[in-house]
Amino acid sequence: MHWQTTRFSLDLSRPRVMGIVNVTPDSFSDGGLHATSQTAMAHCETLLKDGADVLDIGGESTRPGAPPVSQEEELARVLPVIRHAVTLGVPVSVDTYKPAVMQAALDLGADIINDVWALRWAGDAQGKTGKDVIAAHPNCGVCLMHMHRDPQTMQVAPMEGDVVPQVLSFLELLAQDLRVLGIDQARICLDPGIGFGKTVQQNFSLLARQAQAVPQGYVVLAGWSRKSSLAAVTHTSLAQAAGMNIELRRAPSVTAAVLAVQNGAHVVRVHDVRDTVSALRVLAAMQAEEMPPRSTAAPANT
Tell me the catalytic residues: 227, 269
Report the distance separating Cα 184 and Cα 132, nearest Å: 15
Q: Is the distance from CB of 102 to CB of 126 less than 8 angstroms?
A: no
Question: Among 113, 116, 280, which Cα is nearest to 192's?
Answer: 116
Angstrom distances, CA of residue 189 to CA of 51, 186, 253, 286? 21, 8, 21, 27
First to last CA, the chain: 52
Report the distance separating Cα 297 and Cα 110, nearest Å: 59
Q: How many C-alpha atoms does 127 have within 13 Å on its Cβ side? A: 0
Strands 267-270 and 92-95: unpaired
Q: Is the distance from CB of 57 to CB of 92 less than 8 angstroms?
A: yes
| 36-45, Cβ contacts within 8 angstroms, sequence gap of 24 or more | 37/77, 37/80, 37/81, 37/84, 40/81, 41/80, 41/81, 41/84, 41/85, 44/19, 44/81, 44/84, 44/85, 44/88, 45/88
Report the distance separating Cα 216 and Cα 181, nearest Å: 20
